[in-house]
Structure 1
């Protein structure tokens, strides 16, 4: 019976990441109409099987996996590492596959970590796989950006070219009639909550997923025209993370945990 649960969850998870990859690469967005139904489906699926088998642990796995994935993802969001769509996609995968035991006789069974097979911690395997896969790409990208003299996590654009929806990587604020800038910091949201200066008015907010409004764009451009503000602003790079999730998921499903495999090679 549990094999059917894994197969259904597997098919839904693969379909979810494929669609998310398409929309993220094409439109730089992971739609809520994809992630929200999958979160509900994952929780409901495990609840249904748990009730049918009269197994409380199975019944709550979907909710636990979703909660664990959301907690990790929200932490990544607060530090500026992920966008809101990435958090919701990770939560959906956590709800669908809180636990994963391969339904096939795979030759690399030792690569399946016990914490993902027996406990609702498969999202941890998915996260490790995704980070390990994307790390070499990120390091190459960081090196190229450094050589070009560009920021790793942001682009510098002219305020005169600023558009609604762009997400700033710095706070522009007014204090005593003067306009100043405050860097987002390496810890993103946490840095800003701990060490931000006092201001009378904040003109940009890096923590708003919706980015700058048209009203903010018009105000910033007006300040540039009045020569009260330099004509440049740091904008967060829109780096799609869905492909890393997709690769991490496929490796996790058909091979296991890359981190676990590295641990086994060292012991």
Structure 2
């Protein structure tokens, strides 16, 4: 079930750039319910207790990492739901699979694996955007420019950012610095208590203030509607700059598969390193 729901999350994240709450909360409820049933059938509280503890700890850790902009809010709930379904490591006897477990909870292995395998997905994501935006077809020498770090950063920055009409703005879009002067906008944004934050501008030529997304999860639905209303009422311009959001669910799915069938990548690396030093 965890694998099935993760596949669905990947599909929604890639296609619609958002993981539906019904999907992640559905998996979370399934995890609590199934472990409660196991506890009732076996007359052993450890199943539901482990599920609940794993849920709380995983949520706290992944929430803190969300505040550091590592992933979106939907990814936090997906990690938490997986932790609720599978609080402990699995040994799949009929497949003769005995993954290398870590000293920390199984869900942390999923988190660690996901972070470590996210780099290949990021490379694929950037390559797809380069090809889609015609970076190499317009100027083939850009391939050679990838060897230069500063040029690569410029290419990535130009590729990951685009200007769109506010009418095309969607929930989950990551808004870049948007400059304005009207202080009325500040109070409206602060009332939302979402992912947009307002800052004083050092460059007064563009505006006294600016707002931007402060989370990899992008703007909320309420913030999307607020920005569109502000445009409709003439408070802001018709165009806004946004970042392409990097879908992290493929990395979560890969991290889950590796944790179930292979083990904890960090523990495997540590074990091989230790054995290599001995030998």
* Fold agreement, TM-score > 0.5: yes
Partner of 1:209: 220
Contact 1:42 1:62 in 2 (8 A): yes
More displaced, 89-98 or 155-164? 155-164
Per-residue CA deviation, residues 213-232 of structure 1 (Å, 9 max, x unaligned), is 3442353584566xxxxx86
Would you say 1:112 and 2:118 are equivalent positions? no
**Equivalent position to 2:161, from 152, 155, 167:** 155
| Cα distance in 2 between the residues matched to 1:245 and 1:69 | 14
Would you say 1:165 and 2:176 are equivalent positions? no
| Cα distance in 2 between the residues matched to 1:113 and 1:253 | 9
Would you say 1:22 and 2:18 are equivalent positions? no
- 1:36 is displaced (CA, Å) by 0.9
Per-residue CA deviation, residues 21-45 of structure 1 (Å, 9 max, x unaligned), is 1111122221122111210111122
Equivalenced residues, count: 233
| Cα distance in 2 between the residues matched to 1:166 and 1:106 | 40
- 1:261 is displaced (CA, Å) by 0.4
Superposition TM-score, scaled by structure 1 size: 0.70
**Equivalent position to 1:240, from 213, 233, 247:** 247
Query: Pairwise CA RMSD of aligned residues?
Result: 3.7
Unaligned residue ranges in structure 1 (runs of 5+): 1-11, 181-188, 226-230
- 1:243 is displaced (CA, Å) by 0.7
Would you say 1:131 and 2:115 are equivalent positions? yes
Contact 2:172 2:220 in 1 (8 A): no
Partner of 1:48: 37
| Cα distance in 1 between the residues matched to 2:162 and 2:185 | 18
Contact 1:164 1:212 in 2 (8 A): no
| Cα distance in 2 between the residues matched to 1:166 and 1:52 | 42
Partner of 2:73: 84
- 1:55 is displaced (CA, Å) by 2.5
Partner of 2:141: none
| Cα distance in 1 between the residues matched to 2:42 and 2:61 | 30
Distance 1:178 1:151, change over 3 A: farther
Superposition TM-score, scaled by structure 2 size: 0.67
Unaligned residue ranges in structure 2 (runs of 5+): 128-145, 187-194, 202-207, 275-279
| Cα distance in 2 between the residues matched to 1:115 and 1:217 | 49
Partner of 1:261: 268
Distance 1:162 1:87, change over 3 A: same
More displaced, 162-171 or 235-244? 162-171
- 1:170 is displaced (CA, Å) by 4.3
Partner of 2:103, secondary structure, is helix
Per-residue CA deviation, residues 189-231 of structure 1 (Å, 9 max, x unaligned), is 8xx79xx549x98765545433743442353584566xxxxx8
